[in-house]
Chains A and B, each alone.
Chain A
Amino acid sequence: MTAPTTPATPSQDPEEASVSQDSEVLAAAAAPIAGPIRSSLASQLGQRLALRLRLRVAGPAVALGVLLLGAPSMFDDYGIGLLSKALALGVLAVSVSVLAGYAGLPTMGQAAPFLVGAYTAGIMGQHGQDLGVVQLLCGTATGAGFAAVTGLVATRTRGVAFLMTTLAIGELAVAVAGRWHSLTGGTDGMYGIPPVRPLPGTTQLDTDGAVYWYVLGACAAVVALVWRVLRSPVGKLLLAGRDHEARMRSAGHPVAVHRWLAYVAAGALAGFGGVLMCTVNAYVSPADGGFATSALVLLAVVLGGATSPLGALFGAGLIVATRDWLSGPFPGHGPLLLGLMFIVAVYALPDGIAGLRIRVPRRWPGRQRLARFRRPQGPRRPDQPERPERRAGSA
């Protein structure tokens, strides 16, 4: 066994942990290219690269920050409006990355709490409550509440069943929004929502630029919070539950509760994003919560990297920009363009979605028939533990 070249200290600094996580992801990405390189070597390679990775992550983050801060002077009103929309969707994408990347629950229904948050803001706005902070708080709360109730059902499933359940929940939410005329205005949507006053004592946001700054501020605050929480031990709990849920239970962790809490938190995030969306558009309709929105944010997460909130933001921006740019020559075909992007992106990112897998819950001996849902065994990547190959009659 070759000794590691970097002396690792027994006491674990969380920062170092993140470095080793990054290195592991890198090693996983490097493995298919590395081929016959032994797993230990690949991880050492990863550790050396990790330091460079931190620069590489910091680099785009800074670039993103500069771009976002300088945007009002670079773009016209239309472009600023587009950016604001991208930011609102970006928050939704972050919520998907929390569920799909960290909690290991790829989902297609996060547009539902998003819609709930948007309608909350819309209804509040129509009834005279136009304080931005209050709307945000309430939208977050209703999104969380919606997720709390639907989560009781959804978190009973895993993997593909979870995907299906969340899809169904999303569609059901759209159906309800379409039928509940008195509350939501039905399929026509809710319009004429007055502009928002961010804080008590400030004026209404009546220009695209003002709305942009508000949305940017809110988005930055919430994403920073999420990033902090995910880097803390809470993030480790989620990752461990994703890697091997049964082992967590064996250790005494109430994984089902963790999952539900993650689902509620993601719902709160989505609700927050929905409020922002309502503020940007001054209009809410059931279509905002539909298939296309869920597809968009899932693609954003795929593009940006499953476990990176910043990446999710980036992905959202990229998709919104591309779609807008392409819809010039091809008007009215938004879904088509999105679909094509999906098809291409999934193929062109060989292990860019290394962190994103549908995890079939690992089972103990006795569940031999599980084998057909396992991925066909390729060369074992360093991040994959050996699969217990159960044969009848062992021990």
Chain B
Amino acid sequence: MTDVIELSGLTKAFGATVAVAGLDLAFAAGARHAVIGPNGAGKTTLLHLISGELRPTSGRIRYDGRDVTRGSRVKRSRLGIARTFQQPTVWSSLSVADNVALAAWPHTPARGTWLRSRYRSLAEDCGRHLETVGIATLAGRPAGALSHGERRMLDIAMALAAEPRVLLLDEPAAGLTEHGVERLLTALRALPPEVTVVVVEHDFAFVSALADTVTVLHDGRLLATGTPAQITADAAVRAAYLGDLDELGDLDELGDLDRVGEAGGPHVAGEAV
């Protein structure tokens, strides 16, 4: 499998705070890849760097082999990277259907979408995305009037409407009911196999249900990569999440992540440290 996204030496610092430090990570095409880690690990920052909301302090981002580190957010969206947000963001003055249509607009080949007739057919077309996430009945509602859960579904529908090659999801299950999570999983499983899905999540059940690869971040660094089962079993991951100090000695050792990968970088979960 080829890697659709490659990150090398990716670093992002906000003044003295280093959110992401020297990350080397690759996302395979068609993968269902989850990124987890404790608060402050840099997960959302990572998504921002990939989608283009933030520019890295140093390092490279490759998309399909092409260097896009300098590319703007708009350009990366046009390349097929779509995302949702930790706080679902929608255009509140417009209706739900308009929100999805507008999200799909830059990705439609049709010229002149600003003509009412073309726009209308685009909006109709986008109805299926609303159905996928289950809010088709709300199509006429102003997006500002939606509840949190509905808004999150709309956010996801907007990302889907862009028919992306890479879908970045930032804590999509947060605040959803069980039924909502089920719906979300169904929608994600129904995606075409070529689409790469990168999910940042805290809900490990969700992660296990969806992902085939899990990456753990800690303090902006890569801690471990592997299948969900391997990650659950990994001692270093447990220590990072649970602070199991007896296992790894005192705080200094815990903070010094270079020790974690003494054999040369972050390890694959399950291998002896």
Direct contact of A and B (CB under 8 A): yes
Residue positions of A touching B, CB distance < 8 A: 1, 3-4, 6-14, 16-17, 20-21, 23-24, 27-28, 39-40, 42-43, 232-234, 236-237, 239-240, 242-244, 246-255, 362, 364-366, 382-386, 388, 392-395
Q: A4-B141, A10-B136 are in contact. Are A244 and B53 (CB under 8 A)?
A: no
B141 touches A43 (CB 8 A): yes
Q: Which of B77-94 contact A (CB under 8 A)?
A: 77-78, 82-83, 85-94
In the complex, residue of chain B having the shortest beta-carbon distance to the beta carbon of A238: B93
- Which residues of chain B come closer than 8 Å to A366, judged between CB atoms? 14, 19, 45, 48, 54
Q: How far is the CA of A24 from the CA of B120 in the complex (A)?
A: 21
Q: List 18 A-B contacts (CB under 8 A).
A: A10-B127, A12-B101, A14-B116, A16-B140, A17-B98, A21-B93, A233-B113, A237-B114, A239-B94, A244-B89, A247-B91, A249-B74, A251-B102, A251-B105, A252-B106, A385-B87, A386-B87, A395-B86
Which 5 A-B residue pairs are closest in the complex by CB-CB distance?
A8-B140, A252-B106, A252-B77, A12-B97, A24-B142
Given the complex of chains A and B, what is the CA–CA distance between A366 and B75 in angstroms? 22
User: Hey, what's the 0/1 contact readout for B97-122 against A, CB within 8 Å counting as 1?
Assistant: 11101110111000001111001100
CB pair A21–B130 under 8 Å, yes or no, is no
Residue contact B142 to A383, C-beta cutoff 8 Å: yes
B38 to chain A, nearest CB (A): 9
B68 within 8 A of A: no
Q: Report the minimum CB–CB distance from A26 to chain B (whole Å).
A: 10
- The answer to whether residues A364 and B137 also contact, given A239-B94, A250-B83, A383-B92 and a CB cut-off of 8 A, is no
Residue of B45, B51, B120, B139 near A8 (CB, 8 A) is B139
Knowing A14-B116, A252-B77 are in contact, say whether A395-B43 is a contact too (CB < 8 A): yes
CA distance A254 to B75 in the complex (A): 9
* Given A388-B87, A395-B171, A8:B94 Cβ within 8 A: no
Mark B residues whose CB is within 8 Å of A: 14, 17, 19, 39-45, 48, 51, 53-54, 72-74, 77-78, 82-83, 85-95, 97-99, 101-103, 105-107, 113-116, 119-120, 123-124, 127, 130-131, 136-142, 144-145, 147-151, 158, 162, 170-171, 200
The minimal Cβ–Cβ distance linking A28 to chain B, given in whole angstroms, is 8
In the complex, the answer to whether B39 meets A393 with C-beta atoms within 8 Å is: yes
Q: How many angstroms from the CA of A246 to the CA of B124 in the assembled complex?
A: 25
Q: Most chain-A Cβ atoms within 10 A of its Cβ — which of B40, B51, B82, B102?
A: B102
A250 near B53: Cβ-Cβ < 8 Å: yes
Question: Chain A contacts of B91 at CB under 8 A?
Answer: 239-240, 243-244, 247-248
CB distance from A162 to the nearest CB of B (A): 19
Given A384-B144, A388-B87, A20:B95 Cβ within 8 A: yes
Contact of A10 among B105, B107, B113, B130 (CB under 8 A): B130
**Closest A residue, CB atoms, query B48:** A364
A20 neighbours in B (Cβ, 8 Å)? 95, 140-142
Evaluate contact between A14 and B83: CB separation under 8 angstroms.
no
Q: Are A10 and B139 CB-contacts (below 8 A) given A233-B114, A236-B102, A250-B73?
A: yes
Measured CA separation A17–B143 after assembly (Å): 11
**Inside 8 A of A10's CB, which chain B residues have their CB?**
97, 124, 127, 130-131, 136, 139
